[in-house]
Chain A
């Protein structure tokens, strides 16, 4: 322990058990759907059966007459719109005027039990006037009318953006070689094991409480207050531990707001638990993205200019879509040096469940394109793709072409680590037909530099309460979705105070009891909540140290913390126990409670559109994947994955490894089998555009039998902006996996599958095609706006 720097060595870096593990293995942890109250009513939503239609009328009389039905709500009860982004307030808790996808909620039934609610919901009749369906981005571009929404960038374009960092056409004209490729990344969904559930009730004292599967209780709090017209102080949002989020629970949802209104209306607790099918319809998952990439290199292989155009299939609502659109371009520059960069992004509305953020939010798609294109470039110019990446990796303490600030980077070390561990140099190209190795790397942010709504307040706050018994409770609005954020909170407070994480109680996911944390998204929690926790704990430490110093008659600087004691660092035998220190501090200065908060540094990017991408730090990953490809069936089996992740510093190495492996797993699912796909019903059944298989029977994710061995290497390179040097790990390690698999398939059988998922069918098709490729062949005409022109840092000021 070193007094002063706040470190005691009691928790950081140790492979300690999670503080919440016991409740999870015994089944005692209560998730939202496990909550139940006396007198509770049940809510079911009536969902649209047509993808795009005007609502002519909603007949509720028959349902209303059913026994056990307590209330029926329609769009008329929810005229105030909401949405996660201030610029996309385009949702209604129940549809007003029209429906925009099959599954859009039109009405709601509240009944004594779930079955009655379901039966009554089936009796609600909605009369529609069908409108033309917009099924794809291409259709959205070619069909400006009817518009799905009456806002956006014209027709059915939700958002179109254009950013130029230097003159890329000139760079390409002057390049030694220019490569152009088209890629398509299919949409997929989070498939968190827990289906969303909400329980809303009104306290005897009038406080509306919404307990819900949400990764962002603060944003739900704001949306609910707005739609329900209540002062925020009259609403409390609780986020119980969640059965996985992955971005799927970061929007405020219609069912949450309807449940709240129903509770206010009936005066009874109201519960809704979505079915798996409804979860597929909530979606907010990975956007399908069509990409065109142009890259010009000089003789040495250096990128002189890189151009990315993306076309996003946004689905029926805005969700995070404006941010998602920018993210398909924002992090393109963070891994490899590129002199100039040009980005065009367009998100269209379509009559499908809305897309939003899924692990990696908007970046796995262009990452797939970039990493596969680099593989192709290296093949063409005869360079080893690992060597090229090492040589062209961005450097610490530099700015990127689009003004992102890279502070620490472990990219080169990650690449070297996976190259060494996989035997890349010795084994690549020597595995025989059908076997291959592929490599890719990536970067991700540690929290968005800006909040979702503009404000000057902290992004995360932590309050500590130290009680006379020596107990420490940390209060924070952060949300435990399974990633272990509660554990990080306890761990960091424990580290500063010389305790074990299990000594610290946490109160999280509660907008009434805990200060705001913006939520579990954008890999922000460890860094932002972590810094707030260290801040709060350091203040507590100061007070305890002062009290202990008085008692031990030494200067405060000499007070050490560890093992549940405060002691003289010059003579550790002179000590007092932690509880006594709290009592002394309380006697000296009153109740021992401290606060801490965190706000990220002001981004260097100061142009329109520059708000997406900046982060206090970037994590880096590199992966080598080995595959075996069966040329008779096209089946790709992943044999092994080597992955290195630049974690800055591993607060708990076992937990970090768990996040890395979980990301690898999810990346493999996306690239091998997962697809959120749609089809039209047969004409006799309305021809409606519907989800192709909203069930686990049809949407397959990998089982333990599909998972290869994963060798995880943690690269530690402390990040000054991170708590004790830590960076994120929840999302970044997913990113290199899909392109590394595609590159490995090429190494194995010599074909390029330029779109995800790399299914057996596509591999066989590529093997039979003279071009030895499967992938998109055209990119439609997009009406790009006038670009925002910003010179890269080395060419001028922003």
Chain B
């Protein structure tokens, strides 16, 4: 078993041993490698100027995903190929089609964000044959540009695809796949340096054992939140156990009765199974973070983080989701209703982790929608997030589950309001009549995102909107 992190960069195997496991890929690239094309604009996964692409083998297929290098720890590169803007062309060589289109469309003004945009578009170009304009916008929303107003960049994307030519990197795919196969790891990766250590097991059993052994360890999934703790809050994380390489937890599947999302499944993975049964939830997930964040962040991580403003929790609560928890060899399944105890406090015990979230498929008669209200459409934290699931029988409410984020110290259901709806006709009047009950259930805070009064009013209005839309 080779010690140290092994990954590919420009066709060469790179090995890094004895490094600080919380070293970010961006700092490594800029500081150590002097590859300065990837830029730092925020150091928190917001601006996308640091976007790089990871190529990895997934079920034997190569896939390219854009990620934020600024909050990605170097150990996450293990077993993957890293592509940066420098990987695309050397001086004098022809430009990649997305770069050429960017030049032609005047898609670069100051040029600082440009390499990040190029890499986001590269991942798209190498993965999807003819994305819609909406899809292009969705991909680009994780890259901020302060100069252009985006139109020329979106146009450049269109031009690159129009011109066709297909994936440029396809020619090297077989070789790359063989190289990735060659560096694939079977056992646990251990990275120790600068007084910190990280374990990246490959199996759930190994993960469970490691957590028993190191109950003080911080669990690292996609790292979109833990990364910030290091780069922004300068928190000292001595021991990290990463579950990103546990393949059996990376599955997001639809069974006969449930959608099951594993702890290592990214939002992008989850989207693939959520879109069918839960289009409204899928639409919301598409507004979480950015493409880069969705490519690394996990839905289970969002739940475990237990932030009162996490975007997926109201929907999961409303839909009656449960969490399968594991500690050592012991498993227990608890409803999410019982998971969130207080502000950022959960039912998870020491050494316990969420293995998967189970989401029952909608039964006939279920009406469901989830709404997020934020200043910016994408990549913004909600002021209020509401999710409503109502089952009707002959026009009357048989079951109601109404959940909110941003209204209390945890994501929470409005149980009194739910009870008040039971048995009543599903009408505008009924909803109007229970709104005072709703008001009484929450005492939201006033903070930088919204005032208490606004939150209360919008919570009411979202429920009214749901009734109007879900008749």
Contacts and interface: CB of A to CB of B under 8 A. Distances in A.
Interface of A: 17-18, 20-31, 33-34, 36, 190-195, 241-246, 273, 275-276, 481-484, 632-635, 654-655, 657-658, 661-662, 664-666, 672-673, 677, 679, 692-693, 695-698, 700-707, 709-710, 759-761, 764-765, 768
B378 interface: yes
B40 A700 contact: no
State the 8 A-B residue pairs at the shortest beta-carbon distance, nearest first. Answer: A27-B37, A482-B110, A243-B112, A24-B111, A665-B149, A696-B46, A632-B461, A661-B149
Contacts of A657: 106
A193 B49 contact: yes
B39 A706 contact: no
B146 interface: yes
A632 B384 CA distance: 12
B10 interface: no
Contacts of A190: 146
B36 A27 contact: yes
Contacts of A665: 146, 148-150
Contacts of B145: 193
Contacts of A704: 137, 140-141, 143, 150, 153-154
Given A21-B108, A665-B149, A703 B102 contact: no
Contacts of A192: 110, 112, 146
Nearest to A26: B89
A702 B148 CA distance: 12
Given A655-B106, A657-B106, A707-B151, 4 more contacts: A193-B144, A664-B149, A698-B448, A764-B457
Given A632-B465, A672-B375, A695 B42 contact: yes
A704 B146 CA distance: 11
B24 interface: no
Given A27-B36, A27-B85, A193 B99 contact: no
A761 B42 contact: no
Nearest to B41: A193
**Most A CB atoms within 10 A — which of B106, B115, B142, B448?**
B106
A481 B150 CA distance: 18
Contacts of B86: 26-27
Contact of A25 (B99, B232, B379): B99
Given A26-B37, A26-B95, A703 B110 contact: no
Report the interface size class on chain B: 35 or more
Interface string B108-119: 111111110010
Contact of A662 (B113, B149, B381): B149
Contacts of A666: 146
B257 to A, nearest CB: 35
A192 B377 CA distance: 21
A288 B182 CA distance: 59
Contacts of B88: 26
B12 to A, nearest CB: 19
B345 interface: no
Contacts of A276: 41-44
B10 to A, nearest CB: 14
B112 A193 contact: yes
Contact of A710 (B149, B290, B461): B149
Contact of A673 (B85, B106, B146, B375): B375
A706 B111 contact: no
Nearest to B451: A761
A764 B461 CA distance: 11
Contacts of A761: 450-451, 454
Contacts of A193: 39, 41, 47, 49, 110, 112-113, 144-146
**Most B CB atoms within 10 A — which of A21, A190, A697, A698?**
A21
A24 B108 contact: yes
B99 A26 contact: yes
Contact of B454 (A700, A705, A760): A760
Contact of A658 (B85, B102, B106, B462): B106
Contacts of A664: 149
Given A26-B88, A693-B448, A760-B454, A707 B149 contact: yes
A34 B36 contact: yes
Contacts of B106: 17-18, 21, 654-655, 657-658
17 contacts: A24-B111, A25-B102, A26-B86, A27-B85, A192-B146, A193-B39, A193-B110, A193-B113, A193-B144, A243-B113, A273-B40, A275-B43, A482-B147, A673-B375, A695-B46, A696-B47, A700-B380
B148 A662 contact: yes
B147 A703 contact: no
A634 B457 CA distance: 10
B428 interface: no
A194 B41 contact: yes
Interface string B274-299: 00000000000000001000000000
B38 A632 contact: no
B144 A697 contact: no
Contact of B144 (A20, A29, A696): A696
B165 interface: no
Interface string B417-457: 00000000000000000000000000000001011001001
Contact of A17 (B104, B454, B457): B104
A20 B111 CA distance: 9
B332 interface: no
B138 interface: yes
A259 to B, nearest CB: 18
Interface string B144-169: 11111111111000000000000000
A14 to B, nearest CB: 13
Contact of A696 (B44, B115, B154): B44
B204 to A, nearest CB: 32
A662 B42 contact: no
Contacts of A36: 34
Contacts of A245: 110
Contacts of A765: 454
Given A29-B111, A759-B375, A697 B44 contact: yes
A241 B380 contact: no
B46 A697 contact: yes
Given A193-B112, A193-B113, A655-B106, A33 B375 contact: no
Contact of B461 (A191, A243, A633, A696): A633
Contacts of B325: none
Contacts of B108: 18, 21, 24-25
Contacts of A696: 41-42, 44, 46-47, 144
Interface in B26-66: 30, 34, 36-44, 46-47, 49
Contacts of A710: 149, 151
**Most B CB atoms within 10 A — which of A194, A245, A677?**
A194
B378 A703 contact: yes
A703 B146 contact: no
A28 B89 CA distance: 10
Nearest to A192: B146
A703 B379 contact: yes
Interface string B354-398: 000000000000000000010111111101000000000000000
Nearest to B100: A25
B83 to A, nearest CB: 12
A482 to B, nearest CB: 2
A25 B95 contact: yes
A695 B232 contact: yes
A451 B416 CA distance: 68
Given A29-B111, A665-B149, A697-B44, A706 B377 contact: yes
Contacts of A633: 373, 458, 461-462
A628 B183 CA distance: 53
Contact of B146 (A244, A672, A677, A679): A244
B211 to A, nearest CB: 29
Contacts of A654: 106
B374 to A, nearest CB: 8
B263 to A, nearest CB: 24
B36 A30 contact: yes
A661 B148 contact: yes
